Chain A
Amino acid sequence: MKKTIYLIFFAFLLIGEGFAQTIKGTVLDENKEPVIGAAVKVLTTSTGTTTDLNGKFTLSNLQPGKVSIEISMVGFEKLSRSITVEAGKTIEQRFNIKAKENVMDELVVVGYGVQRRRDISSSIVKLEGKELMELPTPSFENGLQGKASGLQVITGSGAAGSASTVRIRGVASVSAGGDPLYVIDGIPITQDYFLNGNNGAMNNNPLASINPNDIESVEVLKDAAATGIYGSRGSNGVILITTKRGKKKGYHVDFSTRQGITRPTALPNMMDSKQFLQMYEEAWVNDGKLGTPVLPGNIAWEDAQNTNTNWVDQVIGTGRQQSYDLGISHAGKRHNVYAGFSNQNDQSYMIGNSYIRNAGRLNGDLQATDWAKISLSTSLSEGVNNRQSMAWSGGLGAAMSTALPIYPIFHQQDVINDAGDTIHRAGDYYFPSNDIGRNPVAMRELRDIQTRENRSINNVTLELKPLKGLILTGSGSLDYMFWRNNEYQKPGWDQNNPLQSRAYRQSFQVANYNYNAVANYLKTFKEKHNFGFMLGMEYQQSRTDRFASQRNEIDATGFLDQTSPTTISDENTSFEEWNFISHFGRVNYNYKGKYYAEVVGRRDGSSRFGNNNKYGFFPSASAAWIVSEESFLKENKVVSFLKIKSSIGVNGNSSIPPYAQYGIFSSAANAYNGQTIIFPNAGNPANPNLRWETSRTFDLALEYGLFKDRISGEIAYYNKQTNDVLLYVSTQLNTGFANTWANVGGINNRGLEFSIKAKVIERKFKWAVDFNIARNMNEVTSLGDYTEDAISGGTNDTRLVVGRPIGNNYLVRFSRVDAETGKPVYLDKDGNETFDWTPDNRVSTGSILPDAIGGIRNDFKFGRFDLTMFWVFVLGGDIYDSSSKRQLGTYDSDGWNHRTDQFDRWQKPGDDAVYPLLTTTPANYGSGTPWINTDLWLHDGTYARLRTLSIGYSFPDELVRKAKLGRARVSIAGNNILTLTKFIGLDPEISRDFENPTDRNMSPNITYLTAPQQKSYMLTLDIGF
């Protein structure tokens, strides 16, 4: 049949040579592939032809003059063009047609499978991998902020490699992890933020070693039905990540590079030496003290006046970012391969802090026979983080606190003690009060800390289609991480032994194995009833091995040079394991593609719980009605798509430490009187009755498309009740333990989400808008028999209070500064004014939850230029600036520097000031301690931030072809370049370091010497062929 057509065409060509006016054309799609069998019609004469195997056609016997041609093909937009044909001439043209963008036919990854968007009756948002690349941070989850309604991402800080806190539809857990489950290519990965505890104010980021450039798409699963298939671990939502595979036929190479600079979004306004001394003296005099003020750090007043060190300038510089990403893919008829290599080098604005990642990936699929397919994914990455002290542990944190401007960086002269010994030479670093933490420059120069993480995520999947409609998949995967922390303290670090240097090393590895086997069966009855059945089982095993930590006293220089005479090694190696078994099933039904229903059931067993409670059963059900398929809406001009969907379900959470149920004893040699002792660990007693934390969720949503899906979007409501919340409760100390694990209480999350995408203008100039906004309301519904003090938010005074959201601030109210005496006036529990600050007067205050969060994105396209503007915003919600109670508080011997905001203080009777009179003792502020928590430090955290502004230019086809490329684009972008906020602290987008999961869930609105976010300017070049 094909041969005949060929002959006819040939004939035409031969004959056609003789005719005069001719149009020869080639029809190509967006991937520059020829479109075969497209209809080519000449509108005026109603004649036409079709394109051949090469997408070519010839129209002959045309009248000279204007000819209107229309090209159409199923699944593509119609293309019309008007061509002027001169007498006796032949014209050759190329026609590029675009695939019809039917959003509803888009394929979406769901748990253990794939569905078309229109068939989904649950709540899932899909994001393209390249959207994540717009924000140049090493860790991909930072790029999720503002992209999906109900998904809240708070980036940790501007430090290179820092982690974000990600929450889907609010916080439903307290001591169990509150982060969503991350699944990469079906592998639930290791995602523990506390593998190394607080680690000097920088929690581990388990997502940092994932290369954003590998990501093809991200699906955010929000409700019980979507997450139901993940059962026990889906109660905080699921984020599915799919990595790239070779899709397009033939060989393709993509290369992109990004070069940029970074700066902090804001600089702290600390006082300089003159200002500090002036304020200090005023405090001294206010207190009635006589003589020259005694300064912190043993500095004499005269020396202080001659010293002015700007510590912030010493630790902050301009960062440099560069990345190189290469992707090679090849697709043939029966196989496809994708290989990717990336290098990302992020020198942050904190001098000496950087994160460098080298990563490689290889994905391949082989259709071995018609009914058997093998898929392989493997990735290897190494992330090296050169860390600097931050927050409470020094560095920029010290520059905002204990590093005073009156301290010099170096000794100016030799210091000789009474015995005539030279204890410091001129040029040695100056350590005020022998505390190296107060000299950030010394801390940086005298110590190297480097964390190195090697990660490999691997998966092999076998897919069999032995019968029509039956798909069997079996897969095995390994997520392996090896983490090592090296610290080298140079000579001079240890004041007592200035010639001594030391090296420390800690390391651990995590091996996470996952096996699953799933059977899917699709069957249609009577062409109307479409069923899908799924049955599966899954096993997961994770083991963490911690190795002996080492410490070497070395006199040689050289960081990892192990030529050390003495090695003191802490022999304790230990391991931790947890295992997980699951059996699950799902049934989908739809009737003529109009009515949908789905039922899911999952039974999970975890080693984390005692024998009575190992297993949990988690069912869910959902239904959807595509109203637009009904006869009364099918031909509607306005409404092109309307779907109502609803779901209910039960999920669980078991994300507690693997051995939480056990009570542990330790033994220690040489512990007392040289003898060995044994003792119960005072952390927590055994609790064999620990069980699953369960959430019941109800979800109702409306998806719409108007004007042929030119406008589309979704409105959703959800209500999630979590019970048996896993809490690490503070017990009374008189029990002999500080905490215990228990299932206590209830939390409720409910909210509304709204999103809309619109192609506002669709001509030569294009403008598309993507807007989403969500509001979450969170409430603690019960605390069982415990009081509010039982659950503490780590080092922050946040509380669980029935009727208020999780992590409620619990503060004494600040009323005013007394105009007569200048002292601060507080309110007691009943609202009466008092000069005394006592914790008895703390009340629940502030609203840590924002009223709404969201993002708005505008994409403009004109010819070869494109412009993107993406704003993220948070409306309402308070931030507690915990460090300001010292930065705007007393001038005591502990020695903190203060912010220039404090200039607005009371000085004489009758003054109306924001801050009380300056003083050196907290007794004048009505307290025994300078750490005075009041709502004076609680601020509105509303902000809108221009997350990305980018302008791109796609090079013209001719230039591109000349360079033998397929496409080329260059763009410049600014990130976080503009922030609109009334917050007087450093940055309204913060999340501080945490001690443990409870702290992480309960204190999201606290900032304490947290480094500001980074703003950056990038130049990106993207080429492909």
Chain B
Amino acid sequence: MKKIYFGIFTSVILGLSACSDDFLDRKPEATETQFLDVDAIKTAEDLQKLLLSVYDVTANTFGGQIQNLSELLGDNIGEPANQNDYIQVYLRRTDIFNGTISGVYRDAYIAIYRANQLIFKKDDVSDITEADKLRIEAESRFLRAFCHHGILRLFAQPAGYTSDNSHPGIVMRMEFNNEVGLRSTVAECYRLILEDLQFAEDNLPDDNGAYATKWAAKAMKARVYLDLNDFTNAALFAGEVINSSKFPLLDSLNRFTAGPNSEQIFATISYLGNGIADERGDAFLNYRSDNNTNPTMRAAGEFYNYLVASGDSVRAAQWFRTIESGGNTTYGVAKYDRSFMWIPLLHTTEMYLTLAEALVLGNLNENQAQDLINDIRVRAGLTPTAATGTSLLQVIRDERRKEMCFEGDRTTQIKRLGVRENIAFSRNAPWDCPGMVIQFPGAENTVSGFELNPTGGCE
């Protein structure tokens, strides 16, 4: 009897000791939807899927959130309702706790991280053609530049704030690692952005379905050069895009359609069909006032009145609506009154406006500038202008403000004006007060050496 018990005991112990080191090696189960990072990128198809995820996050970031933050600093918008994070931006008192800002910032850098993974890991894959590899790298670098630039516009003072742009910019992530990130100067930021765009322009295809093409790279360069007040280059690239005739100006004022249209040089895609309802641009829904009597984002009364006073009845009717509530009148926005919009992040109208302004400011071709701006004006039901010189410049700037209202462009233009003419105001705040630059999320400050932005000073 004793022996039997002994036997059981010893065999149990021996059985347990037989467990090998495998016993302590527990990995998550690889399923269709989850797997280890070391197993993730094996084929060309994997690379393409990862690339699409960069588009996905870019679409989230630029689906209205970045644009809204920029508009809130500007003079197109009235006080937002019911959104404390937006109110903080509107009051120009952003702090490190703002969750909306932190979400936008985070998404942009997630896209950049994934783009870096593609750029540096594409060689791990064997079954891919050289042409495809180049295309994938070009698309990644385009998106990396696009996201960096969006963040740069919000989180740093504009180019020209210091004469050599040595003032602090943003963190430029150009490598695939988890190192600490510190801010580069604005000059360096722009240099790296343009380098990426150059590669993209050289290697992106002419046509790429719904994704980035070399025309998108050129249009982006036009935008970046205008920010730098480099009018020759801005005119050059905007001109190339327009002269390609691939993106004719629409007859209708509405370029925020639920589907492709000819002005989209680069757009985010909402997908509806096959049982899928994937709406992008949902941060633009904050403006939507056709089905909501209390929209979060509204037009500023001064802006609407100025529009109407300047005789701009077509745009006033198509893009605005008055909201009466308890004896108070506010002005809702009708520009985004639809679902499943494709957001045109780079569009022909912007190219027209950029080219016109660059031609005048660069003393290149005022007549062509006049023609361009009149195309825009006529489409908006206004009479063509015969202005020249500074008056033409004023007309161009006005048209830009009205045409691109609520698209996240106005604040940058106010700052450009401030840089050029040393004076510009957004509502009552000077263009260069610290509060006109958004504060970084608190997470950036978790390592010593990171420089947060100064705040306030805008009252």
* Chain A interface residues (CB < 8 Å from chain B): 291-292, 294, 298, 300, 369, 371-372, 433, 462, 464, 466, 472, 474, 515, 517, 537, 539, 572, 574-581, 605-607, 614, 658-659, 662-668, 670-680, 682, 685-686, 729-738, 740, 785-787, 789-790, 792, 797, 836, 838-840, 893-894, 923, 927-931
B residues 69-100 in Cβ contact with A at 8 Å: 81-82, 84-85, 87-89, 91-98
The distance in angstroms between the C-alpha atoms of A792 and B97, with both chains bound, is 12
* Known contacts A517-B13, A671-B52, A674-B276; A732 and B36 CB within 8 A of each other: no
- Known contacts A517-B12, A662-B37; decide if A928 and B88 are in contact (CB<8 Å): yes
Residues of B within 8 A of A574 (CB): 28-29, 31, 34
Q: Once the chains bind, are B52 and A731 in contact (CB under 8 Å)?
A: no
Select B456's contact among A298, A838, A930, beta carbons within 8 Å. A838
User: For A658, what are the chain B residues with a Cβ–Cβ distance below 8 Å?
Assistant: 26
Contacts of B215 in A (CB 8 A): none
8 contacts between A and B (CB under 8 A): A372-B2, A539-B23, A579-B26, A662-B36, A733-B441, A838-B93, A840-B455, A928-B94
Given known A607-B24, A734-B173, A930-B84, contact A679–B53 (CB-CB < 8 A):
yes
| Interchain nearest-CB distance for B292 vs A (Å) | 10
Chain A residues whose C-beta falls within 8 Å of the C-beta of B97 in the assembled complex: 797, 839, 929, 931
- Chain A residues contacting B40 (CB-CB under 8 Å) are 665, 678, 680
Closest 6 CB pairs of A and B: A736-B113, A928-B93, A790-B446, A928-B88, A663-B37, A679-B53
B50/A737 in contact, CB under 8 A: no
Say yes or no: A667-B32 contact (C-beta < 8 A), given A292-B326, A474-B9, A893-B81. Answer: yes
B450 interfacial by beta-carbon distance below 8 Å: yes
Contact present for B13 and A730 (CB under 8 Å):
no
Contact B91 A664 (CB under 8 A): no
**Bound Cα distance A680, B102 (Å):** 19
Residue-wise, chain B 23-55 has the 8 Å CB interface mask toward A (1 for contact) of 111111101111111111000001001101101
**Closest Cβ neighbor of B278 among chain A residues:** A670
Distance, CA A474 to CA B10, complexed state (A): 10
A734 and B109 in contact (CB under 8 A), knowing A369-B1, A668-B33?
yes
Residues on the A chain within 8 Å of B37, using CB: 662-665, 680, 685-686
Residues of A within 8 A of B441 (CB): 733
Q: Is the CB of B326 within 8 A of A294?
A: yes
**Distance to closest chain B CB from A842 (angstroms):** 10
Contact A515 B445 (CB under 8 A): no
Taking a contact as CB atoms under 8 Å apart, the answer to whether B114 and A679 are in contact is yes
* Residue pair A466, B50 in contact (C-beta under 8 Å): no
Q: Which residues of A contact B179 (CB under 8 A)?
A: 735
A464 B443 Cβ-Cβ under 8 A: no
Known A-B contacts: A515-B16, A537-B17, A734-B171. Give 4 more (CB < 8 A).
A466-B2, A605-B24, A607-B26, A677-B49
In the assembled complex, B426 has its CB within 8 A of some CB on chain A: no
Which segment of B266-274, B303-311, B369-377, B380-388 sits at the interface?
B266-274
Is A672's CB under 8 angstroms from B109's CB? no
Q: Which residues of B contact A675 (CB under 8 A)?
A: 49, 52
Shortest Cβ distance from residue B332 to the other chain A in the assembled complex, whole angstroms: 16
The reply to whether B16 and A517 contact each other, CB–CB distance below 8 Å, is yes
In-complex Cβ contact of A665 among B9, B17, B35 (8 A): B35
Partner of A839, one of B92, B95, B443: B95
B329 within 8 A of A: no
Is B178 an interface residue, CB under 8 A from the partner?
Answer: yes
Partner of B276, one of A539, A670, A928: A670
Given contacts A665-B34, A678-B49, A673 and B271 within 8 Å (CB-CB): yes
Residues of A within 8 A of B50 (CB): 677-679
Contact assessment for A672 and B52 in the assembled complex, using a CB-CB cutoff below 8 Å = yes
B84 engages A464 (CB within 8 Å):
no
Chain B interface residue count, Cβ-Cβ cutoff 8 angstroms = 91
Distance between Cα atoms of A851 and B289 in the complex (Å):
57
> Which A-chain residue is minimally distant from B58 (CB atoms)?
A672
The CA of A686 and the CA of B88, in the complex, are separated in Å by: 36
**Inside 8 A of A580's CB, which chain B residues have their CB?**
24
* Whole-angstrom distance between the Cβ of A543 and the nearest chain B Cβ: 9
Contact A673 B210 (CB under 8 A): yes
Instruction: Name B residues whose Cβ lies closer than 8 Å to a Cβ of A.
Output: 1-2, 5-6, 8-9, 12-13, 16-17, 19, 23-29, 31-40, 46, 49-50, 52-53, 55-57, 59, 81-82, 84-85, 87-89, 91-98, 102, 105-106, 109-110, 112-114, 116-117, 171, 173, 178-181, 210, 269, 271, 273-274, 276, 278, 294, 326-328, 441-448, 450, 452, 455-456
Residues of A within 8 A of B98 (CB): 929
Q: With A462-B5, A474-B12, A605-B24 in contact, do A737 and B81 touch (Cβ < 8 Å)?
A: no
Which chain B residue lies CB-closest to A686?
Answer: B37
Smallest CB-CB separation from A543: which chain B residue?
A: B26
In contact, A787 and B445 (Cβ under 8 angstroms):
yes
**How many residue pairs at the A-B interface have CB separations less than 8 Å?**
249
Report whether A732 and B443 are in contact in the complex, using a CB–CB cutoff of 8 Å: yes
Set B34, B56, B105, B106: member contacting A671, Cβ < 8 A = B56
* Contact between chains at A790 and B447 (CB < 8 Å): yes
A292 CA to B328 CA, complexed, in Å: 11
Q: Is the CB of A732 within 8 A of B269?
A: no
Q: Which residue in chain A gives the minimum CB-CB distance to B91?
A: A928
Task: State in angstroms the CA–CA spacing of A580 and B26 once bound together.
Answer: 10
Give the contacting residue for B178; candidates A671, A674, A678, A740; CB below 8 A: A740
- In the complex formed, the residue of B with least CB distance to A292 is B326
Q: Does the CB pair B81–A577 fall under 8 Å? A: no
Q: Give chain A residues whose Cβ lies under 8 Å from the Cβ of B446.
A: 729-732, 786-787, 789-790
Are A928 and B444 in touch, CB under 8 angstroms? no
- Complex: how many Å from CA A836 to CA B459? 12
Q: How far is the CB of B432 from chain A (nearest CB, A)?
A: 19
Give the residue of A294, A474, A673, A730 whose beta carbon is less than 8 angstroms from that of B52. Answer: A673
**A862→B405 CA distance, assembly (Å):** 86
Q: Is the CB of A923 within 8 A of B91?
A: yes
Which of A433, A472, A733 is packed against the most chain B CB atoms within 10 Å?
A: A733
- How far does the alpha carbon of A466 sit from the alpha carbon of B2 in the complex, in Å? 8
CB of B59 within 8 A of CB of A893, answer: no
Residues on the B chain within 8 Å of A685, using CB: 37, 178
B84 touches A894 (CB 8 A): yes
Nearest chain A residue, comparing its CB with the CB of B47? A678
Question: Known contacts being A462-B5, A537-B16, A789-B442, is A678 close to B28, with CB within 8 Å?
Answer: no
- Whether the Cβ atoms of B106 and A581 lie closer than 8 Å is no
* Given A838-B95, A893-B82, A928-B88: A579 touches B49 (CB 8 Å cut-off): no
- The answer to whether B49 touches A838 (Cβ under 8 A) is no
B53 in contact with A672 (CB, 8 Å)? yes
Compute how far the CA of A680 lies from the CA of B448 in the bound complex, rounded to whole angstroms. Answer: 27
User: Judging by beta carbons under 8 Å apart, are A738 and B95 in contact?
Assistant: no
Q: In the complex the two chains form, what is the Cα distance from A658 to B25 in whole Å?
A: 11
CB B28 to nearest CB in A, in angstroms, measures 5
Residue of B nearest to A797 (CB): B97
Provide the residues of chain A in CB contact with B171, threshold 8 Å.
Answer: 732, 734
Partner of B55, one of A672, A927, A929: A672
A677 and B110 within 8 A (CB): no
Q: Which residues in B have their C-beta under 8 angstroms from that of A670?
A: 271, 274, 276, 278
Is there contact, CB below 8 Å, between A517 and B88? no
Known: A685-B178, A928-B87. A464 touches B9 (CB 8 A): yes
Residues of chain B lying within 8 A (CB to CB) of residue A576: 28
Chain A residues with CB under 8 A of B91:
923, 928
User: Which of chain B's residues have a CB closer than 8 A to the CB of A680?
Assistant: 37, 40, 113-114, 117
Q: When A729-B446, A733-B109, A929-B87 are in contact, do A662 and B2 touch as well, CB less than 8 Å? A: no
Distance (Å) between the CB of A94 and the closest chain B CB?
A: 45
Minimum distance in angstroms from A275 CB to a CB of chain B: 23
With A574-B29, A732-B450, A928-B91 as known contacts, state yes or no: A672 contacts B56, CB within 8 Å: yes
With both chains docked as a complex, state the minimum distance between the C-beta of B27 and any C-beta of chain A, in angstroms: 7
Query: Smallest CB–CB gap between B148 and chain A, Å?
Result: 10
Using A462-B5, A678-B40, A787-B448 as known contacts, say yes or no to A735 and B327 having CB atoms under 8 A apart: no
Chain B residue at smallest Cβ distance from A539? B16
The answer to whether A735 and B82 have CB atoms under 8 Å apart is: no
